[in-house]
Structure 1
Amino acid sequence: MSGSVVLLHLAGAVALMLFATRLVKTGVERAYGDVLRHRLRATMRNPLMAVLAGCGLSIALQSSTAVTLLVGSFAGAGIVSGMSGQLAVRGAEIGSALVVKLLTFDLSLLVPVCLVAGTVMFMATERRDWRQFGRILIGIGLLILSLEMIGQASEPLRQSTLMPVIVNYFSGDPVTAYLMAALITWLFHSSIAAVLLMVTLAGRGFIPPELGVVLVLGVNLGSSIIAPLLTRNAEPGVRVVPIGNLLMRGMGSLVMLILFLTFKPPVAFLGTSVPDQIVHAHILFNVLILLAGLPLAGLVYRASEKIVALGTKSEPAALDVIELSALNESALDTPSQALANATREVVRVCETVEIMLKRIIELYESADADKIKALAALDDRVDKKHAAIKLYLAKVTKNPLSEDEALRCQELIGACVKLEQVGDIIVRNMLVHVRKKLERGLEFTPEGWLELCAFHASVLANARLAFNVLVSRDAETARQLVLEKDRLRDREKETSASHFLRLRDGTAKSVETSSIHLDTIRDLKQINSLLASMAYPVLEERGLLGGSRLKAG
């Protein structure tokens, strides 16, 4: 087999590994993302729990970078302290290293099991949570399969005369090997994928143990660079935690490299085989960084703040920002163009409503007068845009319209009205619950809060579907949105039943927050119904919606 064919097979296997890792991460985020975020915020106030939470979330998302970005956003919003954020990231790095260890075991039997079970779950049901769990299983199966493919693709390299030359070169130039590993990790955007590639190649005898340790240190450098680069244009408060991780993990890898090359300690204690030695070196490095980070967390955070401050340019006097409107009066004589303009403006309303829907659940956990005022201001913006869009569309109807244009005009007006109603529910109902909870110092039970977060996550996902339907007018998406409405009704019954069960058991927190809990579920269900109805015009146009949704008795 020619060298180019071998490299092609190896590249395909690596591509499959990256895709599988992304598949698992996406499935977890879509199915459990909001719940995991809320749980993380609730536990990160305790330093030990911050480490454990970061570790657990990294295992779930298979990405320490994702946890770093998430924790950075929390720190930037003032939700968690700098020290807790640093410790959560340290835990995330250990979690990422443990995932690598788990995947080095012989899991070949899981490939067909995960692929079959995941495919069945994904294709046999329309329930979002089951479909996403199926996606996760498929991703795990493909990830294990990709590791086998890397091993098979690299097998012909055993007979290569060039491979020993390359290995000898990097063994004699550890600094270049260190930087090359960092570059590969940055390109992969995944330390898990990078280490797994090295472990697989080491299992074929291509990487000696000493070089493997150097490569692991390079992987940790590359991984620590990813988050700072991704947040380079973010707010200063968001960038502090990623910069702190770069200081601890990136600088730590450099210090370890210098120590390793200076003293040349034996690596036999890390394991009996080279793959084990590489994995254990990866875990040991991150454990040492965690132990060093415990006493240094405050110092590193302050240093990170100063570095971010140095890189933040002082802005000149800000100009008044005028929000542009898509409602161009000169386009009224061309209905198709005017309707496109109105669609653009309605999409902006969708974006504002989505922000309101995301922020309201955050206020249930952490609210103050300024945040409440800011959310109310968003509703004022929705009201103004709603009035402007209705007036604009009324002017459009003064011109002769085709049947399709007339239907689209009515669809946009209906969507705009529903969005305005959603904003009113959030501000006039749910914001009242927030104030009541804040004033009385009430707390939900862990079970009740988890149910609310899960219910809210479903409504938020359906909102995004509704906004997509408004733009794409895709019948399949519209159908899925209406099906989700029925599933949410079933989930509401389950949530209410669980709540009443806690009331029956006399749980104090359940009694105190009962009305807020039930009213919030009711408000979210009403919001979901309004958003789902935005799919009706698309389904009706294609004959997929009857005159009545009631079944004959």
Structure 2
Amino acid sequence: MSGSVVLLHLAGAVALMLFATRLVKTGVERAYGDVLRHRLRATMRNPIMAVLAGTGLAIALQSSTAVTLLVGSFAGSGIVSGAAGQLAVRGAEIGSALVVKLLTFDLTLLVPLCLIAGTVMFMATERRDWRQTGRILVGIGLLILSLEMIGQASEPLRNSQLLPVILNYFSTDSITAYLLAAVITWLFQSSIAAVLLMATLAGRGLISPELGLVLILGVNLGSSLIAPMLTRSASPEVRVVPVGNLLMRGLGSLVMLILFMIFRPHVAFLGPTAADQIVNAHILFNVVILLAGLPLAGLVYRASERIVALGAKPAPAAALDVVELSALNESAIDVPSQALANATREVVRVCETVEIMLKRIIELYEDADSDKIKALAALDDRVDRRHAAIKLYLAKVTRNPMTEDEALRCQELIGACVKLEQVGDIIVRNMLVHVKKKFDRGLEFTDEGWSELCAFHGSVLANARLAFNVLVSRDPETARQLVLEKDRLRDREKETSASHFMRLREGTAKSVETSSIHLDTIRDLKQINSLLASMAYPVLEERGLLTGSRLKAS
């Protein structure tokens, strides 16, 4: 087999590994993302719990970078302290390393089991949570399969005459090997994928343990660069945690490289095989960084703040974000097609504002103050202003001759705008009242009740995004899925209420205290979901997919 064919097979196996890793990550985010985020926020006030929460979330998402970005956004919003954020990221690195260790075991039997179970779950139902679980299982199966493919693809390299020369060079030039591993990790955007690739090649005898240790240090440098680069355009508050991670993990890897080059320690204690030694070295490095990071978290955070402040751009004299642009061009009123397009753009902006409100309201249930409450109320005022402007604009448009399709689209936009305003009112006039009541009385949900609320809210938020997509694309399949989700949410509401009443019967103190808030919140979220789902009806009616207000059997 020629060298180019071997490299092609190896590249394909690596590509499958990267795709499988992303498949698992997106599946977890879509199915459990909101619950995991709320759980992370709730546990980060305690340093030890912050580490454990970061570890668990990294294992679930299979990405320490995702946790770093998430924690950075929390710190930027003032939800968590910067020192706690640093500790959560330290835990995330441990979790990422443990994922690598788990995947190095012989898991070949899981490949067919995961692929079969995942495919059946994804194709046999329309339930979002089941389909995402199926996606996760398929991703795990493909990830394990890709590791086998890498091993098989790299087998012919043992007989290569050129490869030993290249590897011998890197064994004598630790700095180049270190930088090359950092670049590879940056290209992969995943330390898990990079370490797995190196461990697999080491298991085939292609990489020596000593070279593997240098490469592992380079992987940690490259991984620590990903989050700061991805957040380079973000606000300074958001960038502090990623920069702190770079200071601890990136500089830590450089210090370890210098020590390794000076002392050249034996690596046999790390494991019986080269692959085990590489993976265990990765875990050991991150454990050392964690232990060093516990007492240094505050110092690192302050240093990160100073570094970010040095590179921060001065605020402009006039803040442009306070200027509200409008797509409602008065000169286009006489051309209904153009005017309706303008109105659609403006309604989409209302959708964006409502989505922000819907995301923030559940956060206020856990952490609220007067400033955050005022900010949310201000968003509702923005929705009201744009709603009034859109109605007035469309009223002017209807004075001109319009086709039947244009008239229907005009009514659809007006109806969508009314529903969006009603959603905003429910959030501010109902749910915000629950928030104030909860904090005024110092109430706390049970863990089970809070998880149920977060899961229910996550489903409503996902359906809101479907509704906004339907408004723009008018895709009948998406509209049909949205209405089906409405029915499923009704079933979930019954299950949630039944669980809540079960806790009431058991006399759980927190459930009794928060009962009205819990049930009222579920009711409000269900009402919001119904309003948003009804935005699909015009599309379904136009294609004859509704009988009255129900879907026809497909």
> Partner residue of 1:59?
59
Letter in 2 for 1:126: E
Aligned identity (percent) is 88
> Partner residue of 2:87?
87
Is the 2:76–2:237 contact (alpha carbons within 8 Å) kept by the matching residues of 1?
yes
The 5-angstrom pairing of residues 167-178 of structure 1 reads 167-178=167-178
> Partner residue of 2:362?
361
Is 1:509 matched with 2:510?
yes
Letter in 2 for 1:120: V
Q: Which moved more, 1:417-426 or 1:435-444?
A: 435-444
C-alpha distance in 2 between matches for 1:322 and 1:91: 41
> Partner residue of 2:472?
471
The 5-angstrom pairing of residues 216-255 of structure 1 reads 216-255=216-255
> Partner residue of 1:408?
409
Change (3 A) 1:31 1:428: same
> Partner residue of 2:529?
528
> Partner residue of 1:487?
488
Is the 2:231–2:238 contact (alpha carbons within 8 Å) kept by the matching residues of 1?
yes
> Partner residue of 1:461?
462
Letter in 1 for 2:150: I
Per-residue CA distance 1:507-537 (angstroms, 9 max, x = gap): 1111111111100000000000000000011
> When the two structures are superposed, what TM-score results if normalisation uses the length of structure 2?
0.98
Q: CA deviation at 1:326?
A: 0.6
Letter in 1 for 2:483: V
Is 1:317 matched with 2:317?
yes
C-alpha distance in 2 between matches for 1:438 and 1:267: 55
> Partner residue of 1:432?
433
Q: Secondary structure of the residue that 1:444 maps to in structure 2? A: coil
C-alpha distance in 2 between matches for 1:46 and 1:198: 36
C-alpha distance in 1 between matches for 2:116 and 2:96: 26
**Structure 2: runs of 5+ lacking an equivalent:** none
Q: Which moved more, 1:291-300 or 1:540-549?
A: 540-549
The 5-angstrom pairing of residues 282-297 of structure 1 reads 282-297=282-297
Per-residue CA distance 1:294-322 (angstroms, 9 max, x = gap): 11111111111111111112224225642
C-alpha distance in 1 between matches for 2:298 and 2:397: 60
C-alpha distance in 1 between matches for 2:552 and 2:323: 51
> Partner residue of 1:121?
121
Letter in 1 for 2:350: V
Change (3 A) 1:73 1:333: same
Is 1:71 matched with 2:41?
no
Q: Secondary structure of the residue that 1:314 maps to in structure 2? A: coil
The 5-angstrom pairing of residues 251-266 of structure 1 reads 251-266=251-266
> Partner residue of 1:379?
380
Letter in 2 for 1:549: R
Q: Secondary structure of the residue that 1:509 maps to in structure 2? A: helix
Q: CA deviation at 1:551?
A: 9.9
> Partner residue of 1:303?
303
> Partner residue of 2:37?
37
C-alpha distance in 2 between matches for 1:491 and 1:523: 14
> Partner residue of 1:335?
336
C-alpha distance in 2 between matches for 1:28 and 1:273: 32
> Partner residue of 1:162?
162
> When the two structures are superposed, what TM-score results if normalisation uses the length of structure 1?
0.99
C-alpha distance in 1 between matches for 2:503 and 2:286: 42
Per-residue CA distance 1:460-519 (angstroms, 9 max, x = gap): 000000000000111111111000000000000011011111111111111111111100
> Partner residue of 1:441?
442
Q: CA deviation at 1:203?
A: 1.2
Is the 2:72–2:238 contact (alpha carbons within 8 Å) kept by the matching residues of 1?
yes
Aligned residues: 552
Q: CA deviation at 1:157?
A: 1.1
Per-residue CA distance 1:76-115 (angstroms, 9 max, x = gap): 1111112211111111001000000000011111111101
Change (3 A) 1:550 1:84: closer
> Partner residue of 1:18?
18
C-alpha distance in 2 between matches for 1:498 and 1:229: 44
RMSD across aligned C-alpha pairs, in angstroms?
A: 1.2
Q: Secondary structure of the residue that 1:339 maps to in structure 2? A: helix
C-alpha distance in 2 between matches for 1:466 and 1:157: 52
C-alpha distance in 2 between matches for 1:312 and 1:330: 41
Q: CA deviation at 1:6?
A: 1.2
Q: CA deviation at 1:548?
A: 4.2
> Partner residue of 2:50?
50
C-alpha distance in 1 between matches for 2:350 and 2:463: 16
C-alpha distance in 2 between matches for 1:438 and 1:111: 49
Per-residue CA distance 1:124-165 (angstroms, 9 max, x = gap): 000000000000000000001111111111111111111111
C-alpha distance in 1 between matches for 2:519 and 2:501: 10
> Partner residue of 2:520?
519
Letter in 2 for 1:165: V
> Partner residue of 1:393?
394
Letter in 1 for 2:478: T
Change (3 A) 1:319 1:257: closer
Q: Secondary structure of the residue that 1:365 maps to in structure 2? A: coil
Letter in 1 for 2:272: T
Change (3 A) 1:138 1:319: closer
Change (3 A) 1:330 1:293: same
Q: CA deviation at 1:240?
A: 0.9
C-alpha distance in 1 between matches for 2:99 and 2:481: 34
> Partner residue of 2:4?
4
Letter in 2 for 1:368: D
